Structures are given as structure tokens and as C-alpha cells.
Structure 1
Amino acid sequence: MTRRTRSATAAASSTENVTLSTNERILRDCHSFYIDEDRGLIGIAQQLGLTLFAPKKKINVLLIGNHSAGKSSFINWYVGEHVQKTGVAMETQGFTFVTSGKKRESLTGNATLHLYPHFDELRKHRGVVEYLTTEISTSKENKFSLVTFVDTPGLVDGDMIYAFNVDDTILWLGDVADLIFVFFDPIGQALCKRTLNIVEKLNSKHPDRIRFYLSKADTAGTESDRQRVMMQIVQELCKRPGLNKAAFEMPTIYIPTLTGKTAKCENQLENTAKEISKAIDQMIQTTLNALEKDCQAIASLAQKKKEKDQADRAFNWKARFRGLVFYSLAFFFPLMLLLSLLTSGVGIVEMLGYEQGKEVAEQLQNFIEGLFGLVPERYQVGFLVCQAALCVLLFLLGRCVSKTRPTLSKRSKRSLEEIRDYVEDIGKRKKALYKEYLEQSVGSEFVS
């Protein structure tokens, strides 16, 4: 990267910091720690044999409901922009991702999966990609910049044929969603069996993610009519195993701008925004905690590799010493024979001086003769063969016990030190990010 490119990147980042909220910046910084091309935690972890995944920068809110339950209208209200088409004639026929971005744009199925690679599993659901779209909006209303809505097809009973397995696809999306909003409307098929079946399955796996709402509550008629509709829905839900839980809640919501009339029923629409805000706060805390945990895991692996290298070096020193002992024993007897042959001549006698050389030669010869004297003459050939076999065996044992383990180079050890220092630095920056996050709620004077 050139100096001019780095300057431009820094300037763009500085401009972006001004426009981003604190939560957006925290999530962006945490995400960048993982995916940085040069020093990303994902790449560092791979070097150490550890698999990490980058955290999400937005929560996923899955919307489920029967035909014309008001899912698209709710999205338009939260976004503050007419992103999704509404009305019976415009009922959503596929899956639509609604997210924030730099400009208003619509994406088709393949482009959507490139934008959301963690949703690539949808390719395995036959026919879904052709009915998959993304709507990008520049809205900054509520906390839309930290939310991706997933609008699902309106569910109906009877002979309705979908171009894909809508039940299985919704169930899969429920596994990756952070929140699941289920809308029941009082004038449509509020007790649609397909909807109830899907909700029952989702609730069995993710009961903490599901929120129930009576949508279009202002069209339910009088208060008694609304209560009757509510009771019918609750009774039907409570017939299902797992859904008949205590403290069952179903707030009444409606979009005030749709009818232009003043409704007498309570509108708890803001509850949905609060639930989304809670999920965002939970994601931020989870992301920061995961960052700390992953940094500790990387530092621990780096330390273990250093300790293993030290242990391997100690093992190698012992292995070389054991090998030296066996090699010495293997060459001892052949060396004695060689010295005996040398002393039988005059070379060593002249080299050490006649008297001293003669004494050494006599001692060696006496040792060899004494060694062979222990063996009867008819067994001496066999004894030599056994000695040769023993030498070969000792040599092979020496090779086995002297095998060493691979050790780290100076460059690799220096790299481990740099990794440890780097993740410790990220840990300090994570602490600063956590402080900024907490200061939003309790104030700087209460955060140490």
C-alpha cells in the first residue's frame, strides 16, 4: 500500500468515524480486528491451528406471519422509508433482506449471497435463490444501521404452492436470526396452521428469540372484539406443546399512518424497537466478550507453542546424548580391534617412544587376548559374528534414540512474541471500547 493510498484510507476512515454512532464504530472496529489483511485475528489464528469467525456487524430480525399480516409495513415504519411494497396485491412472494447502506439499491439472489456469505447455505434450498432479494436503504431512523430485516413470504393454508420449501427455509433462517417476530393479524388468517406449525418448531429450538405481536390491532373493531381475537390466538397457541408457557405476552401494534384514523386501542409498537435495541446491546456485549476470549485463546496457543519448543529442545539434547552413548558402545569393540592391529606394527611404538609405545601396545594386546581368552577357540568365529551383530544393533538403537523433534526457528519465535504483544494490545483496545459502550448508559464518571 502506497503512502498516498494509506493517507486516503485514513482520511476516509476519519470521515466515517464522524458519521457513525458509537455502537456502529465499536462493532466496525471489532470486525476489523478479525478481517484485517495484514494482522487479522482470523489469519493469525489459522497460523496457530485455530479457527475463528468474524463477528456480525448487525443483528438479523426474522419476520414471520400469515398473508397480509403487516410484516412489510412494519419494516417501512422502522426504516422510515417505503422500502417494501405493501398491500394484498403486493404480498411478499420470496425472501427479502432489508439493510442499510451508502445508497438506495436493489440486489438479486446471487448478489445477496455475495453480500451475506454466511447465508450461502440457502443455495442448498432448491429454488430459493431465484426468490431472494435485498433492499438497501440509506435511512438512519431508529437503529436501522445495525439491523438486517428478513421479510418472509406470507403463509397461507390450503392449496397454495410455493416455488421452494418455504417451511424448511424459514426454519433455517430462524437458526441464524437474533430475533424472530411473529405477527398475527385480526382480520386475516390469524390461526393459519402453517404459521403455527413453523412457530412451534422454532420455539422448540429458540424460545428466547421469539416475540409474538397482534398486528393491525386498530382494525380489530371494538375492545371486546380485539380481546376475543386475542383469546382465540392465545388459546390456539397454548394447544401446542412448548407454546403454553406462563407469562405469555402478545403486545398489540399497528402502524398509525396507514389508516389516518385515531384508534382507541393501545399501540405498543415502540416495544418492537425496544426489543431490537436490547438485541443490539446484547450483540455488542457478546462481540466484545468474544474478542477478549479469542485474544486469550491466541495468546495461550502462542505461549503453549513456545513452551513446547523449549520442551522439544530439552528432549533433543537428551536424545543426542543417548545416541552418543549407543554409538560409542557400537564402535567400542571395532575400535579395540583396530587399535590392536595398529599396535602390532611399529608405527605407534615409534610415535609414542619405544618404551612407552611398547607398553601401550602390550596392554592393548593383553586386553584383546584376555577378551578372546574367555571364549573357547572353536567359538571365537561365532563370537566375532555376535560382536558384529551387537555393534550393528547398538548402532541402530543409537539412531532410534537420537531422533530429534523439529524446533522453531529464531524468526518463528520472534513471530510468536509479536503475536502475543499484538493480541495484548487488542485486549487493551477492547477494554477502551467496552468503556465507551458503558459510558453511553452509566456515564464516564462511573466507568473505571
Structure 2
Amino acid sequence: RQRVMMQIVQELCKRPGLNKCGFDMPTIYIPNPNKPSRCVNQIEEVCRTIEKTINQTVQNTLNSLERDCELISEAITDKLSTDRQTTFDNRRARCKSCFLTLLGFSIPLALLALLVLGSMSQELLEMALGHQGTEALSLYLTPVVRIFDTLSGEQQLYGCGGLVLLSFLLLVIAHFSFRTHPTLSGKQKRQLQEKLEYVQDVIKTKKKKLYEEYLRQSVSDQDMDL
């Protein structure tokens, strides 16, 4: 193959009129001072083309490195931000679930306390709670007792059943409200933060230095002065 290529180059050098199809193959050879040649040595032009291609490749690589750093930083920042929002939503869901659970248990407990305290005598209540405690309890329970007194026995039964059903529904809602989404652990967040700092502080700084070095090698001293 090399012999064929050399033969083609030699023939094109001797008879340029053969190259009528736009066959671009520069003439490259090592000059010999003892044997001058009438063929134009195009090795300098080829070297300039190679150098230009290398410079363009280096510049594209550095630009691609900067874009990749931006994409990585943006992805890590979005992931950390999403995790913070998820943590906040989970905390709010837990608070909501605890409130509904407390409310769901408080209704049957209040009914039970109302029945127990209603069946106790005044003297026994004063012995257990004291005079001030009994008055405070009467202050809160009197409106409820009056409402129940206005209802018939069947209505009171339905009312108690409705309150128990409401308590059950509140507990069910609290159970489903307690469902949370997975979040990052402390170790994972530290690792992501370290990667973000490494990209921002190390990779970008190194890319900047490489780009400056590339410019110093590519631009002449006269262009730098300008």
C-alpha cells in the first residue's frame, strides 16, 4: 500500500495535469541537499494543518469540559434542593399525621371520660380532683351534658356511633398521611456536597489554568500585547 501511495504522489508531482478529479494529496518528503528536487515540499503546510486541527480539538475539549462541569453542578444542586423539599414535605406529613392521630384518639377518650365522670358522685369527684378541679371540669362538661340531655336515647346512641366513626376515619387518614418519600442520608448528602465543591473548586480552576496555557501557546507575543 505504501508503495502504491508513493507511486501516486510521484506521478502527481511529475505530471500535475493528471490531478483532474480534485485528488488532494500533498507532496511530502525529506529534503536532501545533495539531490535537489523540482517538486514542491508541502510538509510545512501539512504541519500547520495538523497543528490547527490539534488546537481546535483542544479548544473543543476544554469547552466540553466546562459544559460538563456546569451540568454536573446543576444536577447535584437540583438533587440537594429536591431532597430538602422532600424532607420538608415529610416533616409536614408527620406533623399532620400526629395531629390527626391525637384528634382521633381524643374523641373516644373524651366520651369514655364523660361516661365515667358522669357516673361518679359529686363527693367522689371532689375527693379525686379537689374543689377547684371539679369546678373546672364542670365548666367544660356542662355544655356537652346539656346537649346530650336534649337528645333522646336513640339519638345519643347514634351520636356516639357517629363520633366513634369519625375517630376511626381520622385514624385512617392519619395512617395514610404518615406515608413519606425516601430522602438522602447524611452520608449521601455529604458526598454530593464534596463532589460539588470538587467540581467548583478543583476541576473548574484546573480548566481555567489549562485554557490560559492553551492561549499562551496559541497566541503570539504580539497578539498578547495587543
TM-score of the pair, normalised by structure 1: 0.42
The amino acid that maps onto 1:378 is E
2:213 corresponds to 1:421: no
Aligned pair partner of 2:82 in 308, 311, 321: 308
Instruction: State the shift of 1:263 in Å.
Output: 5.2
Show CA shifts across 1:184-236 (max 9, x none).
x697xxxxxxxxxxxxxxxxxxxxxxxxxxxx33224753xx32x321x24xx
The amino acid that maps onto 2:192 is L
Give the 4+ runs in structure 1 shifted more than 4 A.
254-257, 260-263, 373-376
Superposed, 1:315-354 pairs within 5 Å as 315-343=89-117, 344-345=119-120, 349-353=126-130
Change over 3 Å in CA distance of 1:431–1:412 after alignment to 2: same
Aligned pair partner of 2:10 in 204, 215, 218: 218
Change over 3 Å in CA distance of 1:316–1:348 after alignment to 2: farther
Change over 3 Å in CA distance of 1:186–1:410 after alignment to 2: closer
CA distance in 1, matches of 2:221, 2:12: 47
Structure 2 partner of 1:437:
214
Structure 2 partner of 1:114:
none
The amino acid that maps onto 1:345 is M
Answer 1 or 2: which has greater helix percent: 2
Change over 3 Å in CA distance of 1:385–1:261 after alignment to 2: farther
Whether the 8 Å CA contact 2:93–2:177 is kept in 1: the answer is yes
Structure 1 partner of 2:19:
230
If asked which structure has higher relative contact order (CA below 8 Å, sep 6+), I would say 2
Show CA shifts across 1:110-132 (max 9, x none).
xxxxxxxxxxxxxxxxxxxxxxx
TM-score of the pair, normalised by structure 2: 0.75
Superposed, 1:240-319 pairs within 5 Å as 250-255=24-29, 264-319=38-93
CA distance in 2, matches of 1:348, 1:253: 116
Instruction: State the shift of 1:414 in Å.
Output: 3.0
Change over 3 Å in CA distance of 1:435–1:361 after alignment to 2: closer
CA distance in 2, matches of 1:395, 1:282: 67
Superposed, 1:62-101 pairs within 5 Å as 68=1, 70=2, 87=3
Change over 3 Å in CA distance of 1:403–1:376 after alignment to 2: same
Change over 3 Å in CA distance of 1:273–1:368 after alignment to 2: same
The amino acid that maps onto 1:399 is H
The amino acid that maps onto 2:19 is M
CA distance in 1, matches of 2:58, 2:175: 57
Whether the 8 Å CA contact 2:13–2:39 is kept in 1: the answer is no
Show CA shifts across 1:26-79 (max 9, x none).
xxxxxxxxxxxxxxxxxxxxxxxxxxxxxxxxxxxxxxxxxx4x4xxxxxxxxx
The amino acid that maps onto 2:208 is K
Report the identity percentage.
Answer: 29
Instruction: State the shift of 1:407 in Å.
Output: 3.7
The amino acid that maps onto 1:386 is G
Secondary structure of the 2:19 match is helix
Q: RMSD of aligned C-alpha atoms? A: 3.4
Instruction: State the shift of 1:431 in Å.
Output: 1.0
Structure with larger Rg: 2
Any stretches of 5+ residues in structure 1 without a counterpart? 1-67, 71-86, 89-184, 188-215, 235-248
Whether the 8 Å CA contact 2:96–2:174 is kept in 1: the answer is yes
The amino acid that maps onto 1:281 is N
CA distance in 2, matches of 1:374, 1:252: 111
Secondary structure of the 1:352 match is helix
Change over 3 Å in CA distance of 1:222–1:417 after alignment to 2: closer
CA distance in 2, matches of 1:371, 1:261: 125
The amino acid that maps onto 2:120 is G
Moved more, 292-301 or 423-432: 292-301
Instruction: State the shift of 1:363 in Å.
Output: 4.4
